[in-house]
Amino acid sequence: MTQNWRFAPHDESQVRGLSSEMRISPLLAQVLIARGLQDAATARSFIDARMTELLEPCSMPGVESASDRIVAALKDKRRITIYGDYDVDGMTATSILLQCITLANGKCDYFIPNRLDDGYGLNCDAIRQLHEEDPQRLLITVDCGITSVKEAALARELGLELIITDHHQMAEELPAADCLVHPRLPDSDYEFPHLCGAGVALKLAWAVCQKLGDGQKASPQMREYLKCAVGLAAIGTIADVVPLVGENRILVRYGLSALAERAPLGLQELMKVAEIKAGQMLDTEDIGFAIAPRLNAAGRLGQARLAVELLTTSNQDRAAQLAAYLDELNKNRRTVERRIFKQAKEMVEENAAWEDHQTLVLAHADWHPGVIGIVANRVSEHFEKPTVLIALDATTRTGQGSARSFAGFDLHAGFSACATHLTRFGGHQAAAGLKIEEGNIEDFRQAFAEYAVDAPKLSDDELLVRIDAEVCLNEITKHAVRELDCLGPFGQENPRPQFVATRVQLAEPPRTMGEGGRHLSLVFQQHNTKIRAIAFGKGEWASQMDEDGGPFSISFAPGINRFRGFESVQLHLKDWVSEKSEAPVTS
């Protein structure tokens, strides 16, 4: 338990003033002030963010040139191939451009590398194959390619026209593609650098639609398409865990509405198997915990093309068949994940020498390369260390790894510092991937751990958990939670409001739930108010809290639980402190 809580300053007169001027509850006013939205004009601008506030697509580096090339290829009736990534961001980005070009009567297909056989991003074998099949085609990457220097050079050598669209971290050398589309290209003045791959693809599709219209406005048919495409971009944005601020927050806000009103046929079927009610207004949790994992399962288990087909099919029977299959794949993925997590914990416990390492590097020949990323996240949280999991191939004696950060550690910088031990690597600060020769793993483990000793670390202030307000449980009503929802959509850098309540008791013994007792279900009581709570991935807290007995100070984010047509307030328990022990930091 962190015990490092920092409460936002509470100026009662300021809270009363904002509450009165905006005609909102004091609780919402306090949260707005805690998040720096201290005057009514700024707060209203945040709450009422409009689609018109999105930046013009051609202000993004490369979009003008890329959209011209696509329109030219359409006019020349050349084949256009979308080369996507195999995660949800890549799938949705592929679907966005595929539908755009198809609606424009273009000859369009798509290629997604097999995660297990081809690995991440552009690869030379695929480029040669695509060129051999049709040397006149236009190849467009989505959500990958910005580090593919060798692959872009091959495309140029073959004479294959290549547009790279991406959002990932760039290396010093950029690929020599015919056109690069990226919000953070050198010398770029694009005002929002945090779009995901689907967001970048949406901007490019938007520009194409403008050029196919009157140059400024798309045709009515393409405007309808763009409204649906915003929904796909929202899924990619949520799944890729990019900051939900600025343009991303706008895309997700209106994208979730678009999905409720006009979800693609395949998504409608996927919502059915995920037990999401038709027409229900979705939130980020619906996407993050129900939709995205089922799409991701296809990519993780080497069948990403099926997810793109699901997102783009117009055949009802095929949509239902694909949704059921993806649901089954997701169940299989969870089974494999539990086994790997158990093996990873045992491996750490059996190697006492790693206890002093500030990082973990684990490798195993029986691990599935498509699932290790999810497990790496669980292992990093369990041991509170940046973690790399490597799936070994006994035939090639190579390993494919996925890494997840902890406490702000920069994985990309760490991999860069240890690059001599790696075949290749890429990704972000928080999540990254690598390829490595089996014989280099021990050297990499040592070098990575040594790098972490002197690596930049988050300051004590950055490690503090920011609390929006201290509340009584009787303040957390359905009306209050719905009012707070105006601050959403919630996600990275725009979390649900987090509160603390003190002198809280357990109304009944805590119990574990879910696969392997991974999660925790509780009922808290404060005075005459009882509220149910859940703590995801914290099943081990059950015995600790039961043994302590309370009272507790609890930190939580409130939400609405919908079950069989009934709605009730439910707390997402983030942290707790026994009031028998030292109190948390309350600076």
Amino acid 432 reads: A
> What CATH number should be reported for the domain holding residue 444?
3.10.310.30
pLDDT at 461: 67
Amino acid 303 reads: Q
| pLDDT beyond 90 at 121 | no
Whether the CB-CB separation of 167 and 185 falls below 8 Å is answered with no
Both 429 and 473 in a single domain? no
| pLDDT beyond 60 at 32 | yes
pLDDT at 586: 47
> What CATH number should be reported for the domain holding residue 164?
3.90.1640.30
pLDDT at 470: 95
Both 407 and 500 in a single domain? no
User: Which segments of 183-247 are extended strands (E)?
Assistant: none
Both 455 and 489 in a single domain? no
Task: Classify residue 141 by its DSSP letter.
Answer: E
> What CATH number should be reported for the domain holding residue 582?
2.40.50.460
Q: How far apart are CA 380 and CA 365, in angstroms?
A: 20
Tell me what the mean pLDDT of segment 103-121 comes to: 87
Q: How confident is the model at residue 582 (pLDDT cuts 50, 70, 90)?
A: low
Both 519 and 440 in a single domain? no
Q: Which of 179, 197, 218 is the last residue of a domain?
A: 218
Tell me what the mean pLDDT of segment 51-77 comes to: 97
Both 454 and 473 in a single domain? no
Average pLDDT, the chain: 93
Both 64 and 131 in a single domain? yes
Both 376 and 484 in a single domain? no
Tokens read off for 354:
């790693």
Please choose, from the candidates 363, 447, 358, 444, the residue with its C-alpha nearest in 3D space to the C-alpha of residue 405.
358
pLDDT at 532: 97
Burial letters 321-356, b for 16+ CB under 10 A, else e:
ebbebbbebbeebeebbbebbeebbebbeeeeebee
Tens of pLDDT along 367-394? Answer: 998 899 999 999 999 999 999 999 999 8
Both 71 and 212 in a single domain? yes
Q: Classify residue 90: in a domain, yes or no.
A: yes
DSSP per residue, 504-539? EEESS--EEESGGG-EEEEEEEETTEEEEEEETT-T
What φ, ψ does residue 146 adopt, rounded to 5°?
A: -70, -15
Both 454 and 499 in a single domain? no
Both 432 and 522 in a single domain? no
Q: Which of 218, 245, 272 is the last residue of a domain?
A: 218
Both 472 and 554 in a single domain? yes
pLDDT at 376: 96
Both 515 and 579 in a single domain? yes
**How many structural domains does the chain have?**
3
Q: Classify residue 11: in a domain, yes or no.
A: no
Q: What is the pTM of this model?
A: 0.89
Q: Classify residue 338: in a domain, yes or no.
A: no
| pLDDT beyond 60 at 194 | yes
Q: How far apart are CA 188 and CA 183, in angstroms?
A: 7
| pLDDT beyond 60 at 3 | no
Q: Which of 185, 218, 251 is the last residue of a domain?
A: 218
Whether the CB-CB separation of 238 and 289 falls below 8 Å is answered with no
Q: Residue 136's domain spans which residues?
A: 58-218
